[in-house]
Amino acid sequence: MRSLKKILATLLLAAGAAAAQAWPEQPITLVVPYTPGTGIDLIARQLSARLPAVLGQPVVVDNVAGASGNIGSEKVARAKPDGYTLLVQVNTLVMNKSLYKSLAYDPVNDFTPVSLTSWGTLLLVTNPNVQKATTVAQVVAAAKSSPGKLTYATPGVGTPHHLSMALLMQSTGTELLHVPYKGTAGAVTDLLGGRIDYMFLPVHVALQHIQAGKLRAIATGSDKRLPQLPDVPTLAEAGIQAGNVDMWYGVLAPKGTPAPVVARLNKEIGAILRQPEVATAFEAQGMVPASSAPGEFKDLIAKDAQRWAGVVQRGRITAE
């Protein structure tokens, strides 16, 4: 029996290696579970423009938006694990594991991580004409003096912007009133108009308003200060030790995708991310290119899922 199992295992391994050597033999689809024009969409289009030259097959982007990324993500989770259908996602993927109780797929365990592609930073900002706080300590003091009265906006329940503020409130024992919007545009409009007090915003969205004096940056959610805003401290420097709220972006394949295929994708994606023009395109969207080994990306996903599960549980946050 053991000999038969060994023979079968050897045959399966050989079949997988043969399939990987032939791969790719047809076009590859990068599924983006959000609308065109987002940072994730930009990543996919940078990859789709450059992968054909090294893989010898067309690479197309398929925007499958809806349900906070769950529709497109489920499509990839249910796809054949042959390397022809891939997912480009942000860390919302792991947040959704805790936010949604009735998903038809597992946002963490139904995928094979391929490679990290980049990091994005969120800034804690305020309208300087409404709130005079210039430090995190002052924000905390103001929130404690008026529990539940100061407001913060997000693009929606369960977004990184939302959970980042939830983490900040849990770390400081404060309570601000959550005002969720359907997207970033309306939230920013009301923040600029003085109808909202605070918000976590991506660097590329906030920077133009900060430079124009319409918003004030209080802290950066990264573990390092930003070169564009060297005088703005990190949350950790402000005393929030659990304050790194960077968003990761990456490429994933369906669970069971052959390891040689994953390795080839990882190698080619890593080479693309090192191209100067790709770095320039990413930086324009407030992202920093960053590749990783599949195993490193897997460990990051597992750690991040556990971290945000705690935030969701403590905040009793749910999304329908």
User: Amino acid identity, residue 142?
Assistant: A
pLDDT at position 183 over 60: yes
Render pLDDT for 246-256 as a digit per residue (tens, 0 to 9).
999 999 999 99
Asked if 110 and 133 sit in the same domain, the reply is no
Measured CA to CA in angstroms, residue 198 lies from 38, 128, 150, 286 at distances of 22, 10, 8, 20
Summarize the confidence of residues 107-136 as an average pLDDT.
Answer: 94
Summarize the confidence of residues 204-216 as an average pLDDT.
Answer: 94
Domain assignment present for 241: no
Asked if 104 and 139 sit in the same domain, the reply is no
Q: Among 165, 185, 220, which residue terminates a domain? A: 220
Domain assignment present for 236: no
Asked if 11 and 94 sit in the same domain, the reply is yes
Summarize the confidence of residues 264-281 as an average pLDDT.
Answer: 97
* % of the chain exceeding 90 in pLDDT: 81
Asked if 102 and 137 sit in the same domain, the reply is no
Asked if 13 and 40 sit in the same domain, the reply is yes
Asked if 15 and 114 sit in the same domain, the reply is yes
Look at 26-30, 264-268, 279-283 and tell me which has the smallest mean pLDDT: 279-283
What pLDDT, on a 0 to 100 scale, did the predictor assign at position 19? 52
pLDDT at position 111 over 80: yes
Q: Among 203, 220, 237, which residue terminates a domain? A: 220
pLDDT at position 235 over 80: yes
Render pLDDT for 13-38 as a digit per residue (tens, 0 to 9).
555 555 556 899 999 999 999 999 88
Asked if 6 and 110 sit in the same domain, the reply is yes
**In this predicted model, which residue has the larger pLDDT, 132 or 1?**
132
pLDDT at position 55 over 60: yes
What pLDDT, on a 0 to 100 scale, did the predictor assign at position 5? 52
Distance CA 320, CA 311 (A): 17
Asked if 195 and 259 sit in the same domain, the reply is no
What pLDDT, on a 0 to 100 scale, did the predictor assign at position 9? 52
3-state secondary structure labels for all residues of the chain: CHHHHHHHHHHHHHHHHHHHHHCCCCCEEEEECCCCCCHHHHHHHHHHHHHHHHHCCCEEEEECCCHHHHHHHHHHHCCCCCCCEEEEEECHHHHHHHHCCCCCCCCCCCEEEEEEEEEECEEEEECCCCCCCCCHHHHHHHHHHCCCCCEEEECCCCCHHHHHHHHHHHHHCCCCEEEECCCHHHHHHHHHCCCCCEEEEEHHHHHHHHHCCCCEEEEECCCCCECCECCCCECCCCCCCCCCCCEEEEEEEECCCCHHHHHHHHHHHHHHHCCHHHHHHHHHCCEEECCCCHHHHHHHHHHHHHHHHHHHHHHCCCCC
pLDDT band at 243 (very low <50, low <70, confident <90, very high): confident
Domain assignment present for 232: no
Q: How many structural domains is the chain composed of?
A: 2
Distance CA 112, CA 266 (A): 12
What is the domain extent for residue 71?
A: 2-119+246-315
Asked if 186 and 205 sit in the same domain, the reply is yes
Report whether 234 contacts 225 (CB < 8 A). Answer: yes
Give the side-chain half-sphere CA count within 13 A for 70. 18
Domain assignment present for 226: no
Asked if 21 and 170 sit in the same domain, the reply is no
* % of the chain exceeding 70 in pLDDT: 93
Domain assignment present for 195: yes
pLDDT band at 242 (very low <50, low <70, confident <90, very high): confident
Domain assignment present for 233: no
Look at 20-24, 231-235, 237-241, 298-302 and tell me which has the smallest mean pLDDT: 20-24
Tell which residue, 90, 205, 243, 226, has the closest CA to residue 158.
Answer: 90
What pLDDT, on a 0 to 100 scale, did the predictor assign at position 241? 78
What pLDDT, on a 0 to 100 scale, did the predictor assign at position 71? 95
Summarize the confidence of residues 114-122 as an average pLDDT.
Answer: 96
Task: Identify the CATH number of the domain in which residue 73 sits.
Answer: 3.40.190.150
Asked if 144 and 69 sit in the same domain, the reply is no
Domain assignment present for 227: no
Asked if 255 and 109 sit in the same domain, the reply is yes
Task: Identify the CATH number of the domain in which residue 134 sits.
Answer: 3.40.190.10
Domain assignment present for 237: no
Render pLDDT for 75-104 as a digit per residue (tens, 0 to 9).
999 999 999 999 999 999 999 999 998 899
Average pLDDT over the chain, rounded to whole? 92
pLDDT at position 272 over 70: yes
Distance CA 306, CA 9 (A): 34
